[in-house]
Amino acid sequence: MSSTDRYRRPADLPPRIPLFPLRGAILLPRATLPLNVFEPRYLEMLDDVMSGDRLIGIVQPATDVSEDEDESPLGHTVGLRNVGCVGRVTSYQEVDHARVLITLTGIMRYDILDEAATDLPYRMASVSYDRFAPDLNEGLGEDQVDRTNLLRVLRSYLDANKLEADWAAIQRASSEFLINALCVMCPYGPEEKQALLEADDLKSRADVLVALAEMEMASSGGSGTTLQ
């Protein structure tokens, strides 16, 4: 049993979670997100969550945040998106006294209800998972995905950008893992990332991902972008 299999219903997750606001970053169920944590406020958050349930909510800052601000805005007053995804710390490595490398594995999305008043240096919020209960069903909706078209567009995107990939591993991956992992790692902007996060189901998410790739290839002539 994986470390996230313990969560079988929304009630298995806490109603209040620490938030890690990151512009241009999303997390999705059973996908992974590596993070290099060095800010004191988030090192303190990590100390707290590692002694507890190891859960962190990834969420993007709101659209009114200036593009020249930090990737993770300072303070507790900057607006946040309404939807994020909670993940569990499944890998933890101390690099030195001021930097930690972690991996978050996504569990399920949430709606932010309100932000909790706290004296902590990081933000806390009351959240509801109810709308996203289907996220806990691994593989749900895979039979509705046009996998052939997804792989066709992915191959075209990789070829157009002169990128290499382990195609055998891609072929073996489940559609859910492939779609969610691509959404997390794709180099699109905050608006596109949020659209991928908030897609109603796996098919819708795959359709958005394919549409974004096709539009980018059409507008750039098939070059000029690198996956990160």
Q: Tens of pLDDT along 119-177? A: 999 999 999 999 999 999 999 999 999 999 999 999 998 888 888 888 999 999 999 99
Spatial separation of the C-alpha atoms in residues 70 and 76, rounded to whole Å: 14
The pTM score is 0.90
Measured CA distances, 108 to 88, 130, 134 (Å): 10, 10, 9
Residues 225 and 156: their CA atoms lie apart, in Å, by 13
Find the mean pLDDT for residues 16-40. 96
Nearest residue to 136 via CA among 104, 171, 170, 176: 176
Give the model's pLDDT for residue 76. Answer: 74
Tokens of 65: 């945040």
Is pLDDT of 206 > 50? yes
Cα pseudo-dihedral 124, 190, 109, 174, rounded to 10: -140
Q: Given this model, what pLDDT does residue 69 score? A: 58
Is the pLDDT confidence value at 225 over 50?
no
Task: Provide the pLDDT for residue 5.
Answer: 77
Residues 6+ apart with CB under 8 A from 209: 150, 179, 182, 183, 186, 196
Whether 25 shows a pLDDT value over 90: the answer reads yes
Q: How confident is the model at residue 226 (pLDDT cuts 50, 70, 90)?
A: very low
The region of weakest confidence among 4-13, 174-183, 206-215 is 4-13
- Per the CB < 8 A criterion, the answer to whether 92 and 50 are in contact is yes
Can you give the pLDDT at residue 96?
Answer: 86
Write phi, then psi, for 184 (nearest 5 degrees): -70, -40
pLDDT at 66: 53
pLDDT digits 0-9 by tens, 31-90: 999 999 999 999 999 999 999 999 999 999 997 545 545 667 666 778 999 999 999 999
Which backbone phi and psi does 52 adopt, to 5 degrees? -125, -125
8 Å CB contact between 112 and 127: yes
Alpha helices in the chain (DSSP H): 40-50, 147-160, 167-172, 175-185, 190-198, 202-220
Dihedral of alpha carbons 124, 126, 130, 132, sign: negative
pLDDT of residue 73: 66
CB count within 10 Å of CB 88 equals 20
Q: What per-residue confidence (pLDDT) applies to 77? A: 76
The pLDDT of 100-109, averaged and rounded, is: 98
CATH 3.40.50.300 applies to domain 10-133:
no
